Chain A
Amino acid sequence: MTVQIWTYIIVVATFTLYIGIAIWARAGSTKEFYVAGGGVSPLANGLATAADWMSAASFLGMAGLISFNGYDGSVYLMGWTGGYVLLALLLAPYLRKFGKFTVPDFIGDRYYSNIARTVAVICALIVSFTYVAGQMRGVGLVFSRFLEVDINTGVFIGMIIVLFYAVLGGMKGITYTQVAQYCVLIFAFMVPAIFISIQMTGNPIPQLGMGGKVTGESVYLLDKLDGLSTDLGFAAYTDGSKSMIDVFFITAALMVGTAGLPHVIVRFFTVPKVKDARKSAGYALLFIAILYTTAPAISVFARTNLIDTVSEKEYSEMPAWFSKWETTGLITFDDKNSDGKIQYVADETVNELTVDPDIMVLANPEIARLPNWVIALVAAGGLAAALSTAAGLLLVISTSVSHDLIKKQLKPDISDKNELIAARLSAVVAVVIAGYFGINPPDFVAATVALAFGLAAASFFPAIILGIFDKRMNKEGAIAGMVVGILSMLFYMLKFKFQWFGGGTEAEWWFGISPEGFGTVAMLINFIFSIIISKFTPPPPEEVQEIVENIRIPSNAGDATH
């Protein structure tokens, strides 16, 4: 059977599964819609969090990025896992004890202010929309390449599926579909990795194969790749070329951003007790780590395979996958010296081949000549990753509107039934906007997503941490911190990424810190502003200080309430 038929079979089978779960797990009340009724087991929540978290960027984009950046790619590996340590130790248990539905709920109540709540809602919307854009591009990419439909049609199909289970099931539907999606995506990620690891190193465990010797040779795989890279003029794979300060700041921004992402934080409101929140953070990271420790191995295998397959080889003898990806424009070949061979080197004036990093995970099984069903499986896994994250983000967007804006501010006397209708309607609107982003995508999946982390790090993280660990923190400090934090992040991102405000080149980066790493600086600015301003303004009222005392004690965590 061809790859295309296999892909249809597997994609249709998985989509049917997701829809079946959605019908089974319909939401009947706002509590089920927002926090899945609050009765999710830590294991199920860990699985759902892992799927929620691992997006098209993790599944499709990350291994490719690492593959082209070598050591520099470590920022994504450490950044996107280390954040869970912060989440488990500093945020999740306390926010669960607090027992509300959303992050703006916490900010609004802890800082006894609807202005703080509104600022938090705006931050949540900016972060979530930036992030959802990347998911939709992932969906379109998979559909266009493997089902050979138009990208727009692909996005459209994806949107209908998400719409179906997010609108019908809310958090409850999303949670159980995410559990299924985790199983699909991790299976899809591991199968080709294990195949290729055996092929290249004889070791079935990719994490070990990566450090093993090349089959039939006495040289270690990583040493071989270092050699290949430097021969072609690239930096040695294990060395990288980013400055240490930038690697440090990007890693920190991704870690802190992870801990501040609203769609991840809300997952911890769905478990019954504080100790379940801690435990499910542990499960979540365990399930994430399976993919995250495999990804760098895939990067090494794919990079070595790619160079071996193309470098100094006849263009006319390239395998079928090469020309298929060429038609999508994601691989381009320009025979500059007209010798019919592919020169793939670091020197831009001589280099004849460009490969978009986003395709590496999808192309990898083909490059390694794996069976067709494995290639189709990867396509289904990519869809599972993109859809599960998109659904989680859409829920945050719709909850922000129906709960934090309508229920808490505009129309406090709204009935539970009407609030549920409002939640569903805002989910529909959010899906349509996300669909627009999918059809008119910003370039580069992982890079756009990386900026969403900077925004989350700059806004939520300090406000939540100070809200828990500094009893004296007041609304003046927190609001000023969030506003200054997110504005400075937006300014830096627009200036150096989009060339607004006079623009700027890499040489003009402040202290050599890239826009991706600036989230750490913006977070520090937020902390400093919050602390200084709170010192010169009145302390929070007595009852707010009691709330802080209360969330520090894990016992008697009630159900999540309004």
Chain B
Amino acid sequence: MLHILLIIAMEKHKKYWRENLKYLAILLAIWFLVSYVFGIILVEQLNTIRLGGFKLGFWFAQQGSIYVFVILIFVYVRLMNKLDKKYGYDT
């Protein structure tokens, strides 16, 4: 009986970890996109587009990426609080 409970606990644990890793992959992909792709690799192409007085690539490198970083962490906090609750790990 104890043995079965242990297996169930471990399964739950594994599922929680997999969902966590999925969130990390998505959020880090966005993190990479706004900084390394928009701010560095594609900066010249994006600079042909204007955002008011800013060239778009330059804006991502010096402003936009930072705003997105802040949002990403708060989204992560929300997602994880929900996930913790779902699995009863929020104590």
Q: Which residues of A contact B (CB under 8 A)?
A: 66, 71, 73-74, 77-78, 81-82, 84-85, 88-90, 93, 207, 210-213, 220-223, 238, 244, 247-248, 251-252, 275, 278-279, 281-282, 285-286, 289, 292-293, 296, 549, 552-556
A49 to chain B, nearest CB (A): 12
List 12 A–B pairs whose Cβ atoms lie within 8 Å, in order of A's numbering. A71-B58, A77-B65, A78-B65, A222-B58, A252-B36, A278-B73, A285-B69, A293-B67, A296-B62, A549-B13, A552-B13, A553-B13
Chain A, Cβ-Cβ closest to B10 = A549
B61 and A71: CB pair below 8 A?
Answer: yes
B35 and A251: CB pair below 8 A?
Answer: yes
A554 and B52: CB pair below 8 A?
Answer: no
B54 and A282: CB pair below 8 A?
Answer: no
A419 to chain B, nearest CB (A): 32
Counting from the closest, the 4 A-B pairs by CB-CB distance are A220-B53, A74-B61, A211-B53, A282-B73
Q: Given A78-B66, A248-B40, A285-B70, do A211 and B35 touch, yes or no (CB 8 Å)?
A: no
> B51 interface residue, CB < 8 Å from A?
yes
Partner of B28, one of A85, A281, A549: A85
Q: Given A211-B52, A211-B53, A212-B53, do A238 and B70 touch, yes or no (CB 8 Å)?
A: no
Partner of B63, one of A89, A251, A281, A296: A296
Within 8 A of A (CB), among B28-64: 28, 31, 35-36, 39-41, 43, 47, 51-55, 58-59, 61-63
A82 and B61: CB pair below 8 A?
Answer: no
Q: Which residues of A contact B67 (CB under 8 A)?
A: 289, 293
B40 and A82: CB pair below 8 A?
Answer: no
A372 to chain B, nearest CB (A): 31
Within 8 A of A (CB), among B5-21: 13, 16-17, 20
In Å, the complex CA distance between A21 and B88 comes to 39
Q: Which residues of B contact A93 (CB under 8 A)?
A: 80
A16 to chain B, nearest CB (A): 33
Q: Which residues of A contact B24 (CB under 8 A)?
A: 89-90
Chain B, Cβ-Cβ closest to A281 = B73
Q: Looking at chain A's contact residues, is the secondary structure mostly helix, strand, loop, or mixed?
A: helix
Q: Which residues of B contact A296 (CB under 8 A)?
A: 62-63
B82 to chain A, nearest CB (A): 11
In Å, the complex CA distance between A392 and B72 comes to 26
Partner of A238, one of B39, B47, B84: B47
Q: Looking at chain B's contact residues, is the secondary structure mostly helix, strand, loop, or mixed?
A: helix
Q: Which residues of A contact B39 (CB under 8 A)?
A: 74, 78, 251
Partner of B77, one of A211, A279, A556: A279
In Å, the complex CA distance between A71 and B36 comes to 14
B76 and A278: CB pair below 8 A?
Answer: yes
Q: Which residues of B contact A207 (CB under 8 A)?
A: 63
Partner of B69, one of A213, A222, A289: A289
Partner of A78, one of B61, B80, B81, B84: B61
Q: Which residues of A contact B43 (CB under 8 A)?
A: 71
Partner of A248, one of B13, B41, B58, B90: B41
Q: Given A78-B61, A244-B41, A553-B16, do A282 and B70 touch, yes or no (CB 8 Å)?
A: yes
In Å, the complex CA distance between A285 and B74 comes to 10
A89 and B62: CB pair below 8 A?
Answer: no
In Å, the complex CA distance between A275 and B84 comes to 9
In Å, the complex CA distance between A549 and B13 comes to 9
Q: Which residues of A contact B28 (CB under 8 A)?
A: 85, 89
B70 and A275: CB pair below 8 A?
Answer: no
In Å, the complex CA distance between A93 and B77 comes to 10
B42 to chain A, nearest CB (A): 10
Q: Which residues of B contact A554 (CB under 8 A)?
A: 80, 84, 89-90
B89 and A555: CB pair below 8 A?
Answer: yes
B80 and A292: CB pair below 8 A?
Answer: no
Q: Which residues of A contact B66 (CB under 8 A)?
A: 77-78, 81, 289, 292-293
In Å, the complex CA distance between A552 and B16 comes to 9
B61 and A77: CB pair below 8 A?
Answer: yes
Chain A, Cβ-Cβ closest to B52 = A211
In Å, the complex CA distance between A248 and B84 comes to 35
B62 and A85: CB pair below 8 A?
Answer: no
B84 and A555: CB pair below 8 A?
Answer: yes
Partner of B40, one of A81, A89, A247, A556: A247
B69 and A82: CB pair below 8 A?
Answer: yes
A211 and B73: CB pair below 8 A?
Answer: no
A248 and B36: CB pair below 8 A?
Answer: yes
B80 and A278: CB pair below 8 A?
Answer: yes
Q: Which residues of B contact A248 (CB under 8 A)?
A: 36, 40-41
In Å, the complex CA distance between A220 and B50 comes to 11
B76 to chain A, nearest CB (A): 6
B55 and A85: CB pair below 8 A?
Answer: no
